[in-house]
Structure 1
């Protein structure tokens, strides 16, 4: 099917990419200017900002409580943004929807960004918050059973990497993972995946833009050959938590996400793969106001509820 007409309308208005080097400070300010005021955001029972004291240092987090309950499953969420963009504010609407749709308490992580913070600072922040949840279980009213991770785009990179770190460390608390159009192979070889060629131009995220947008992270010491940087390069995926992998039809990263899902299944990991036709990269964060794409958040909620306390 063609790209969704509402997405096509917006793509047609996008300016050409700026010439010269990217300016993280200016781009972050542009993102922040698009954040809707608090009164226009989807209501959640309770939202609070705090700081998680982790082995990596103090990490800002935002906690979304969907309803009053004696205990909760917890979802730790990592926002996207090519490792140098995104924030608790830019993805606040995603976290709110995940909380409301799942009934889980959602903890969104304000991890350190490249280029100011070199690899593996952001990844360590994400893993540290995951560990913090189990240490603060009483204060968070965690039910002690359901602890999921989720991320979109580069946040999906972190979600996949964190589950691997937890397994390798014998930290067996992670119960399930959700990867929204994840970036899983950062060597960006366009010959490796057909979607890199099929969706190279005209769909928002363009194949030629992958290297410059991820350069801040890679230039900070992140090696694309490292499975913690490119999770698809991990040889043994057995024993990782059950996964929901969501991809977009018109996304250069589509095929690596779907290959990862296939490899998880081959390794014996219970995996659900959902491709959203007519969608492009970033559709959960950018186009969830379109009902057929909000369905991805509803699907994530069903996945979490369906696996609760199994």
Structure 2
């Protein structure tokens, strides 16, 4: 995934961990399969299965949110955090999300993993990300919100290091 490589490298450096990347066209079943595989093989990867993070950018942010909801509903695997970068929460009536019965824009968010939500002020997905973060906060979920001005987002690093290393109470 050449296009995703810079972001994956930044996430890897920020988290100090292995980052697995799914194809851009990955849908919810692919993301769930990747998450379950990661949990099953975490010791082989030298990782802690209790510190799994799902992440996505744009439409992948919506898929990551749906994957976090799926993990919560199944009580496995346990997620440490969801990182939603410019998330498009309108995965709407996509067959794969309906098959799982998950629509992040309308699903209950009670008990889902802590989140980092990155938005860009003039991006068309910004309000959806801001609304989703607000829903998470109202449900008592710890949220780190990072908001960038258009243009600055592409010139600076994502600054995810602090938000990825926090525990469930928001402490570093």
Q: Same fold (TM over 0.5)?
A: yes
Unpaired runs of 5+ in structure 2? Answer: none
User: Residue deviations 1:6-28, cap 9 Å, x none?
Assistant: xxxxxxxxxxxxxxxxxxxxxxx
Confirm or deny: 8 A CA contact 1:161 1:227 kept in the other structure: no
> Is the CA contact (8 Å cut-off) linking 1:185 and 1:233 kept in structure 2?
no
Select the structure that is richer in strand.
1
Deviation at 1:172, TM superposition (A): 4.4
Cα distance in 1 for residues equivalent to 2:28 and 2:77: 18
Cα gap change, 1:227/1:255 in structure 2, threshold over 3 Å: closer, same or farther?
Answer: farther
2:67 corresponds to: 162
- Once superposed, what is the RMSD of the aligned Cα atoms? 2.5
Out of 126, 134, 156, the position equivalent to 2:31 is: 126
User: How far does the alpha carbon of each residue in 1:141-173 deviate from its partner, in whole angstroms, 9 at most, with x for none?
Assistant: 112321111110011011000011111112141
- Superposed CA offset, 1:89-111 (max 9, x none): 11111101111222121111136
Does residue 1:307 correspond to 2:167, yes or no? yes
User: Where does structure 1 differ by over 4 angstroms across 4 or more consecutive aligned residues?
Assistant: none
Aligned to 2:146: 274
**Unaligned 5+ runs, structure 1:** 1-87, 114-120, 188-217
2:51 maps to what in 1?
Answer: 146
Residue-pair matches, total: 168
Q: The residue matched to 1:175 in structure 2 has which SS?
A: strand
Q: Which residue of 2 aligns with 1:56?
A: none
Cα distance in 2 for residues equivalent to 1:262 and 1:231: 13
- TM alignment of 1:1-310, pairs within 5 A: 88-110=1-23, 113=25, 122-186=27-91, 221=95, 228=102, 230-234=103-107, 236-279=108-151, 283=153, 287=154, 290-291=155-156, 294=157, 296=158, 298=159, 300-307=160-167
Partner residue of 1:23? none
Q: TM-score, normalised by structure 2?
A: 0.86
Distance 1:123 1:107 in 2: 15
Q: Which has the larger radius of gyration?
A: 1
TM-score, normalised to structure 1's length?
0.50
